[in-house]
Amino acid sequence: SQTIHQWPATLVQPVGSPLSLECTVEGTSNPNLYWYRQAAGRGLQLLFYSVGIGQISSEVPQNLSASRPQDRQFILSSKKLLLSDSGFYLCAWRRASGSSYNEQFFGPGTRLTVL
Amino acid sequence: AQKITQTQPGMFVQEKEAVTLDCTYDTSDPSYGLFWYKQPSSGEMIFLIYQGSYDQQNATEGRYSLNFQKARKSANLVISASQLGDSAMYFCAMREGPGYGGATNKLIFGTGTLLAVQP
C-alpha cells in the first residue's frame, strides 16, 4: 500500500530564517506530487506541482521554492521566511496513470508558525 | 469569480440523521472532476468521494453520496446516518480538464463547511 510522510509535523521559525519541509511517498513510482498551503480557517491553495524528477511548476509567485531531487521526494524551501508564510502545509500525491488516478492523497501536514 | 462555492460555513446535525453539504462550481471545461475531502481537527485531508463530469450516475461510497446536478453545476455531499466521528471540516474541490496524461490535475478548493454532529 502507498503511504505519504511529511516532516516535521510542527515548526516554529523566526522571520528571516530558512525553511525546508520534506515529503516522501512510498509504495508507488513516478507519482505526481503537490504542495498546498492552508491559511487558518481557509481552503487549500496549490503552491507547486511536479510530474517528474526536477520538473517543478509554480502556481503562486512568492518567496517559496520547491524541488524534487528523487522520484518520491518533494521538498518545499524558503531562504527567508515571512510572517505571511505561516500556515498548514500539505503534500499530496496522485498516480500518474492507471485506475483510480483521479484522487489526490494527502500527507499529515506540517503546521508552520513564523514569529 | 469563485470556482468552487460552499455557502454553509457551519452545519449542525443530530446523530443518525442525514445531512447535505452544498457545493456549486463554475467551469467552462466540459471535462472535469469533483471531489469531497474531510478534514478532522488533526488536519489531515481524507478523500471521501469523486464524481467525473461524464459519469452518468451519482457517486456513492458507503454512507457518502454525491448529488450531482450538472445543469445546475452543483455537487452536494450527502452523509447518511451521521456519526459523532463525522464532525469535521468538509471541502469540495474541482479538477478542470481530464485527469489523465500529462494533465496537472491540480485541485481548486472551496472554503469548507464545518459539520458538527450532536448526540
Q: Over the stretch B75-111, which tens digit does the pLDDT of each residue have?
A: 999 999 999 999 999 999 998 877 665 556 788 999 9
How far away is chain A from the Cα of B82, in angstroms, using its nearest Cα? 23
Of B104, B91, B6, residue with least CA distance to A59: B104
> What gap in Å lies between CA B88 and CA B101, rounded to an integer?
34
Of B44, B29, B10, B112, residue with least CA distance to A36: B44
Q: Render pLDDT for B23-43 as a digit per residue (tens, 0 to 9).
A: 999 999 888 999 999 999 988
B10-14 vs B113-118, strand pairing mode: parallel
Partner-chain residue, chosen from A32, A46, A90, that has the shortest CB–CB distance to B45: A90
Partner-chain residue, chosen from B44, B93, B99, that has the shortest CB–CB distance to A101: B99
> What gap in Å lies between CA A61 and CA B57, rounded to an integer?
39
* Averaged confidence pLDDT in chain A: 91
> What gap in Å lies between CA A49 and CA A60, rounded to an integer?
11
Tens-digit pLDDT profile for chain A (115 aa)?
A: 889 999 999 999 999 999 999 999 999 888 999 999 998 777 899 999 998 999 999 888 678 999 999 999 999 999 999 999 999 999 999 887 655 557 889 999 999 999 9
pLDDT value of position A102:
73
Which three-class secondary structure state does DSSP give residue B98?
A: coil
Chain B residues near residue A32 by CB distance under 8 angstroms: 105
Count residue pairs from A and B with Cβ separation < 8 A.
Answer: 61
How far away is chain B from the Cα of A75, in angstroms, using its nearest Cα? 18
How long, in residues, is chain A? 115
Contact between B105 and A111 using a beta-carbon 8 Å cutoff: no
